[in-house]
Structure 1
Amino acid sequence: MDDLRNILPTGKSNAISARELAAKIGVSDRVLRDIVTEDRVKGIVICSSSAGYYLPANKDEIREFCNFMEKRAKHSFIAIQSALRALGEVEGQQTFIP
């Protein structure tokens, strides 16, 4: 599969769940996430929300997606910091890998 642009709906209100999308293209949820990541690396803007995946209908949807992902990343980093503190690692020695 080249990319998901021919399958994904446009607009957040039309998002398709990961499970439904994976079934539609005949792959597992894990493989679907890998495909989405590969397409994003290629520069394709694939947005996601709690409702599923979609192509953005406008710049506002892209901004909303960016804010969603930024908050998610911050929460993940906080969880990592707390776990590293529990292991006795010194703060500031962690490496953030984008």
Structure 2
Amino acid sequence: MLDPVPAMDAPERSQVWAEVLLIVEPHLRRGETLMLTVRHGLTELNRDQRVGGQIDVPLLPEGREQAEVARQAFEGTAFDVVISSPMERAVETAAIVTGVPSSE
């Protein structure tokens, strides 16, 4: 995904993303399931516009900040199941967003 606010510094960019994340409380009927998907936070390879694929790289501090913004947006959401890629960047993002530590 291209960053719509690339000229801003990290705190300003995170604030914009917080405003972009619009969470609408769904009204689920019995038997319905809500599935939320979140992409991992920024890594060095993403920042440099290089393909990461199966290269296991960690989040940058800005990526952790992005995950924290998502955590705040989903605050109060009860997660029954959390599924993540085994890649470090995805596991770390999932742990930050959900507040559920990795079970390795």
The structure that is strand-richer by fraction is: 1
Between structure 1 and structure 2, the one with the greater Rg is: 1
